[in-house]
Amino acid sequence: MRITDKDVSYIADLANLELTAQERQHMVKDLDSILSYIDKLNELDTSDVPPMAQLAAAGENAVTDSKSIPASREDQLRPCLPRTEAMQNAPATDGQFFKVPKVIER
């Protein structure tokens, strides 16, 4: 096994996931078998191959040029989501702001 419980704990920390001991145990096993399968990619020599950074550029015909896929739109003033609607799904608010547990101890 090249993946250890410690690795999974470290990655779970990065991902803000709190895994139980049992979940970590399953994850070690699953991750190990999936990564072994992914190792298949190393059979290919890709030293001269550029990574695909943008899907649009992969098109074999000219319609996918930069003009047909505008990355930005005109900067125009328009109404945004009203505060009440933006807050309606929040677990806790004071009506003005989202509320979260205390971050800084006084």
Partner 1 sequence: MDTPVLTIPAIVSAIGDRKLSAAELVTAFYKKIKAEDGEIHAYLTLCEDRALEQARNIDALASRGDTLPPLAGVPMGIKDVMVTRGIRTTAGSRILENFVPPYTCTAVERLEAAGAIVLGKLNCDEFAMGSSNENSAYGSVRNPRDKSRVPGGSSGGSAAAVAAGTAVATLGSDTGGSIRQPASFCGVVGLMPTYGRVSRYGLIAFASSLDHIGPLARTVEDAAILLSVIAGHDPMDSTSANVPVPDYRTELQKPVKGLRLGVPKEYFGEGLDSEVRSAVEAAIQKLAAQGTEIVPVSLPHTGYAIPTYYVIATAEASANLARYDGVRYGYRSKSAKTLAEMYRKTRDEAFGAEVKRRIILGTYALSSGYYDAYYLKAQKVRTLLARDFQQAFTKVDAVITPTAPTPAFKLGEKSADPLAMYLADVYTVTADLAGIPGISVPCGQSTGGLPIGLQVLGRHFDESTVLRIANSIFS
Which residues contribute to the site for partner 1 (CB under 8 A)? 7-8, 11-12, 14-20, 23, 26-27, 30-31, 33-35, 37-44, 46, 49-53, 55-56, 58-61, 63-64, 67-73, 81, 85-86, 88-92, 98, 100-103
- C-beta separation of 9 from 24 below 8 A: yes
Q: How far is the CB of 83 from partner 1 (least distance, A)?
A: 11
Q: How far is the CB of 13 from partner 1 (least distance, A)?
A: 9
Q: How far is the CB of 55 from partner 1 (least distance, A)?
A: 4
- C-beta separation of 31 from 3 below 8 A: yes
| Helix 5-14 vs helix 21-38: crossing angle, to nearest 10 | 100
In the structure encoding, which two tokens stand for residue 57, read together? Answer: 């550029």
